[in-house]
Structures are given as C-alpha cells and as structure tokens.
Amino acid sequence: MATLAERLARDLLLDPGSAAALASSFVRATREDLEGLQAAVRAGDGGAIASLAHHVKGAAANLEIEAIRSRAEALELRASAGDFAPLAGLLAGMNSELRRLEAELRQAGPPRAE
C-alpha cells in the first residue's frame, strides 16, 4: 500500500522530496491543531473546537486523507451543535490516524521544510 507521500507524488505530479515535505507539513500542522483541539475540548470551548476542526478538515480534504477529514468534519458539526459527548472518541480516532502517518514519515526519513 502506498504511503501518503507516494500517493501525493503520484496524484499531484510532485517529485518525491516535495511530496514528502507536503505530507510532513500536513502532519505537523495537524498535530498542532490536534493539541489545540484537546485543550478546547477540556475547556468546553465549542467555538474553538469547530474552528480548529474546520482547519484540519480543509487540509485533509485537499490531500484526500478521508480518515482524518471525516472525523474533523464530525468534530466540527458536533461542536457547532453543542454535542460534546462524542468528541473525545473522534479525537482519539484522529490521533490514532495521525500517529500512523507520523510513523510512516519517520520511516521515510527527514522531510524538506516549507
């Protein structure tokens, strides 16, 4: 099965280095957003959750990472509706998928910075 960087290189006609850098950029930005999301969930700040989830959803849609996009969308909708109960589960699922991508990037070696 192709890694994220390999898929990006193929679909977006990027060289492997650029594709790896793009994948790394996504993972780094999403990790930051995820930490913000966890803090916002702890604080019960629905506005911040929806805003951060929207941010993650957009980038995941750009790169067509459905496992993260769908969870981010669900987070945004639930937070906007004030339904906080399923948020922890959604975050855990997103975190798990992100960890998988981080491990994948570590195996491929250091990426090029933006």
**Comparison of 69 and 95: residue with beta carbon closer to other proteins:** 69
Stretch that binds other proteins, among 16-24, 89-97, 102-110 (CB under 8 A): 16-24
Contact call for residue 42 and other proteins (CB under 8 A): no
Tell me the CB-side half-sphere exposure of residue 29, using CA atoms within 13 A.
Answer: 18
**Comparison of 15 and 107: residue with beta carbon closer to other proteins:** 15
Contact call for residue 108 and other proteins (CB under 8 A): no
Give the 3-state DSSP-derived string for the chain, with helices as H, strands as E and coil as C. CCCHHHHHHHHCCCCHHHHHHHHHHHHHHHHHHHHHHHHHHHHCCHHHHHHHHHHHHHHHHHHCCHHHHHHHHHHHHHHHCCCCCCHHHHHHHHHHHHHHHHHHHHHHCCCCCC
CB of 108 to other proteins, least distance (A): 17
Stretch that binds other proteins, among 54-62, 86-94, 100-108 (CB under 8 A): 54-62
**Comparison of 18 and 38: residue with beta carbon closer to other proteins:** 18
Contact call for residue 96 and other proteins (CB under 8 A): no
Contact call for residue 61 and other proteins (CB under 8 A): yes
